[in-house]
């Protein structure tokens, strides 16, 4: 199993650095990583099946006097479950998935501030192999650092060689993402830019 390592530097927060290790095999994608900033740190692990559908995301988020943990899973029946806990004092919403019905039909998770989790819809939709028009998706979005899980309606489309158009369905955010041949983000405007591989 060949593991590739990537580093992103935050654009919105210059103190944030994401480090990720990724293995793509015939059985899916497996990845783990960390994000550190001046105010919090996260560590996570992700499992994706051969069809580029999320199976499991584990995340731990830490601050000076608080900590949160989340295990988010998508069953073979498509039903999402979330197990979460929190300690300490933080001015955040509660962690976890309050209502699984809100993310019904979602095939992907999206870990906030982490460019890697755009890879699943990019690969599953074949956005780099052919022209794909705007395709709406329901996403289980994990807010960082609170680890609250909410529904996010997103739209993906091809945008030319090595480029993917992404927007939220309500039009609140849109961007063209530069990606490599594996579908992993190089440049995410306003969020992060990838550094040279380590």
> pLDDT by residue (tens digit) across 24-57?
999 999 999 999 999 999 999 999 999 999 999 9
Residue 118, pLDDT score: 97
Residue 113: CB atoms within 10 Å: 23
CB atoms within 10 A of CB 170: 10
Kindly tell me if the per-residue pLDDT of 198 is higher than 70. no
Percent of residues, the chain, with pLDDT higher than 90: 96
- pLDDT value, residue 196: 76
Helix (H, G, I), strand (E, B), or coil: what is residue 37?
Answer: coil
Q: What is the pLDDT of residue 184?
A: 96
What is the per-residue pLDDT across 144-196, written as a single tens digit (0 to 9) for each?
Answer: 999 999 999 999 999 999 999 999 999 889 999 999 999 999 999 999 999 97
Summarised one tens digit per residue, pLDDT across range 69-123 is 999 999 999 999 999 999 999 999 999 999 999 999 999 999 999 999 999 999 9
Pair of tokens at residue 128: 């780099």
pLDDT at 14 over 70: yes
Q: Which tokens hold the place of 121?
A: 């819809």
Tokens of residue 136, six digits: 């709406």
Q: What is the mean pLDDT of the chain?
A: 96
Tokens representing 147? Answer: 């680890």
pLDDT at 197: 61
pLDDT at 1: 72
Dihedrals phi, psi of 118, to nearest 5 degrees: -75, -15
CB–CB of 82/94 below 8 Å? no
Domain spans in the chain, listed from the N-terminal domain onward = 3-194
Partner residues linked to 81 by β-bridges = 73
Q: Residue 160: count other Cβ atoms within 10 Å of its Cβ.
A: 9
């Amino acid at each position: 199993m060949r593991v590739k390592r990537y580093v992103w530097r935050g654009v919105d927060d210059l103190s944030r650095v994401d480090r990720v290790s990724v293995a793509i095999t015939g059985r899916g994608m497996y990845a783990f990583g960390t994000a550190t900033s001046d105010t919090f740190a996260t560590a996570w692990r992700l499992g994706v099946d051969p069809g580029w559908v999320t199976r499991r995301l584990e995340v731990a988020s830490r601050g000076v006097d608080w900590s949160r943990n989340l295990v988010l899973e998508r069953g073979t029946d498509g039903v999402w479950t979330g197990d979460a806990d929190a300690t300490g004092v933080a001015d955040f919403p509660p962690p976890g998935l309050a209502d699984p019905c809100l993310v019904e039909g979602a095939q992907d998770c999206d870990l906030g501030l982490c460019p890697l989790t755009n890879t699943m819809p990019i690969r599953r939709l074949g956005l780099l192999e052919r022209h794909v028009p705007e395709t709406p998706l329901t996403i289980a979005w994990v807010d960082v650092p609170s680890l609250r899980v909410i529904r996010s309606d997103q739209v993906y489309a091809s945008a030319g060689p090595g480029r993917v158009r992404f927007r939220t369905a309500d039009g609140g955010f849109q961007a063209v993402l530069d990606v490599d041949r594996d579908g992993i983000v190089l440049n995410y405007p306003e969020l992060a830019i990838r550094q040279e591989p380590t």
